[in-house]
Amino acid sequence: MSRGGCNIGAARMERVCVFEWRYGSEEMRRLFLVEHIVKRYVDVEVAVMQGLEEAGLVPRGCAEVLRKCAEGVKPEEVYEREAVTGHDIASLAYILGERCGECGRFVHLGVTSYDVVDTAWALILRDALTILKRRLWRVIEMLIEYAEKYRDTVMAGRTHGQHAIPITLGFKFANYVYELSRGLERLCEAEKRVVRSKISGAVGTMAAWSGKGLVVEAVASRVLGLEPHAISTQVAPRDGFAELVTDLAILASQLDRFALEIRELSRTEIGEVYEAGKRIGSSTMPQKKNPVTAERISGLAKVVRAFTITALENIPLMHERDLTNSSSERVLIPHVLLAADQMLLDMEKLLRVLHVDEKAMERNLQLTKGTIMAEAVMVKLVEKGVPRHEAHKLLSELSAMVSNGEDFYTILVKNEIVKKFLTPDELVKLLNPGSYLGNYKELIDRAVNYAKSVKALCVT
């Protein structure tokens, strides 16, 4: 029977399937169906047989025989046999050995189960990272479009939840362009270390292959399109898995940061940016426009971050290996990738429905009655000869007076020290938020160019 994308047969089949699908794309989900996982196991066994052929350890043609006889193997057969043997890879090897005639006696020769499992993981991770990198770049592209569209849209910059100095919305988006480009860069770097074959036998010495292990490894790796680990124990080093999961957790946190920004800016009291659309916001309050897509991104980020502990705990294994990583990785790897995939899907959705209220931004810029420009006035006073510490103290005192009802311009223009150095016309210009944006245009361009350079090296 089928349930949520997993084919469920024997009890073992249910355990190896990811729980009922809710998150992740169909293309990502397919990578973790038992049919696909068993197919990858078979791909590795066939590639190793080709290596054994090239090394002269098995008769020529056995790899092709194995490929053909493996076509009829169904996943449920493997896991039904595992219910008896207690070992999934051994079960597959037994089935292939029984069905492949004379060549069947060479199936899995000198191979340890984690040659198959870890190399299959590498193939699956390669496909998964291709999906994630492509999707992440699409998100970055959309952010670049927003950075360009709102390049000159002035808004309040905020630190500690308070108005700081003006920025532009395009500048805000460009910061996320840069950060997510770094996230993409990390995934590409991690891929080099985790997407590698592990074909080296029982404890990694290739002892069963009569001194021709490097030939077996090289041929099998070439067939699968992988580079081999330089050395390993019975398993591939788990630091690569931990690096990838940690990098995905960093990416999840970066997406969470953007989602949190949207959630904050969509508050009724701010209302500058919010999720648009016809979705029901509340089951009881008709007026609500809840940022549910952004909130789902933040919620899944918690899950991805939590998985880093599991990944790090899997690095220390006893001697040349123990089995403590196996059970946890069956949960860890699919779910962290599905969660990351869903977060990127949600980012695309969020960016498609994002509504920007420029009038709200203009209105909010006036909330402090001009004090958002206090630094600009201070800097100008220093240019005119006032010591910076004295100018800072003066502007702090004058800013505090705004709460008495008068706006900042009125207070400044009446102050004797300010009048000594600045004319009313100069104050009008200084209090214009659009006049104090620094090198924002060049900085936006620099962030966009950085992103494009990462894409050129990383995404095909």
Please give the structure tokens belonging to residue 262: 């949207």
State how far the Cα of 206 lies from the Cα of 252, in Å rounded to an integer: 39
Three-state DSSP at 156 gives: strand
Judged on CB neighbours under 10 Å (0-12, 13-18, 19+), 100 is buried
State how far the Cα of 437 lies from the Cα of 262, in Å rounded to an integer: 22
CA distances from residue 409 to 167, 373, 419 in whole angstroms, order as listed: 20, 10, 12
**Closest residue by Cα to residue 251 from 316, 307, 198:** 307
**Closest residue by Cα to residue 23 from 316, 295, 444, 342:** 342
Output the CA torsion 334→338→341→346 (10° steps).
-170
Decide if 399 is catalytic: no
Indicate which residue of 282, 396, 435, 453 is catalytic. Answer: 282
**Helix, strand, coil percentages in the chain from 3-state DSSP, rounded to 5:** 65, 5, 25
Three-state DSSP at 155 gives: strand
Cite the DSSP H helix spans in 266-387.
292-313, 324-353, 358-365, 374-383
Indicate which residue of 160, 283, 319, 389 is catalytic. Answer: 160
How many residues in total does the chain contain?
460
Question: What are the residues whose beta carbons fall under 8 Å from the beta carbon of 203, sequence distance 6 or more?
Answer: 112, 233, 234, 320, 321
Decide if 181 is catalytic: no
Contact assessment for residue 55 and residue 216, using Cβ atoms and an 8 Å cutoff: yes
Please give the structure tokens belonging to residue 424: 């009313």
Output the CA torsion 280→281→282→286 (10° steps).
-80
Indicate which residues carry an active-site annotation. Answer: 160, 282
